[in-house]
Amino acid sequence: MFRALLLAPPGAGKGTQGERLAQRHGVPHLATGDLLREHVSRGTDLGRAAAAHMDSGDLVPDDLVIEMVLQRIGGHDGGEPMTDFLLDGFPRTLPQARAAYEFARKAHRTFHAVIVLEVPEDELVRRLVRRGEEQGRADDSAEVIRNRLAVYEASTGPLVEYYEERGILVRVDGTGAVADVTERVEAALAPVLAARA
Ligand code: AMP
């Protein structure tokens, strides 16, 4: 049993750590940014509705994202339903967190742990600028990066307290080598998962 959420600002390594953690725990890595980028490139209705928000570094409206994720987890989009997962990039707002909790409670699939990757802002900016140069992601330009960090603080920051109050928050230093961060996450997760077993 492993249902965890990665909560971290852009550039903190969510995607990289998400893939590693999902693989280690044998669960699907469900990254909403990746799902949304896929919709944009396929030109679906959702992709068309999401693209402008993503390009400017703003969040895609809650109702669209909630629908997309719950459909995916529930297996109502043609895929298999998921009982375990590593969620990356969702929830990102309090309304999303409340909707996720409602769904999870009814389906008996509440999260076991929420992992916060902590990285200082100047390091985040350095990493995002480098990724923009290497991968050419449209939302990794200097102006959009600033907006994404501000959006994270305003909309996603409050989730740290929300999950801290529920006693499932794990804070991890996200600086340094990728493998070291993964080991730190695993070490911090162990007692939380043991307590839930
Ligand atoms: P990411 O790859 O996680 O950085 O996500 C890229 C972009 O996708 C974000 O800047 C948002 O525009 C959008 N996005 C991803 N996840 C969400 C979410 N849970 N709620 C709203 N927008 C999202």
Q: What percent of the chain has pLDDT over 90?
A: 86
Which are the contacts of 55, defined by CB distance < 8 A and separation ≥ 6? 138, 139, 144
Ligand 1: residues with CB < 6 A are 10, 32-33, 36, 53-54, 57-60, 65, 89-90, 92, 96, 139, 148
Give the residue, by CA position, lying nearest to ligand 1 atom 5.
33
- Which of the four pLDDT bands, split at 50, 70 and 90, describes residue 155? very high
CA of 50, closest atom in ligand 1 = 12
Which member of 20, 72, 109, 148 is catalytic?
148
Q: How far is CA 144 from the centre of its chain?
A: 18
Which are the contacts of 112, defined by CB distance < 8 A and separation ≥ 6? 1, 2, 3, 4, 168, 192, 193, 196
Convert the pLDDT of each residue in 136-150 to its tens digit: 888 988 889 999 999
Mean pLDDT of the 166-185 span: 96
pTM to 2 decimal places: 0.93
CB 174 within 8 A of CB 8: yes
| Residue 81 pLDDT > 80 | yes
Strand, coil or helix: what is 105?
helix
Q: Where are the beta strands (DSSP E) in the chain?
A: 3-7, 29-31, 85-88, 113-118, 169-173
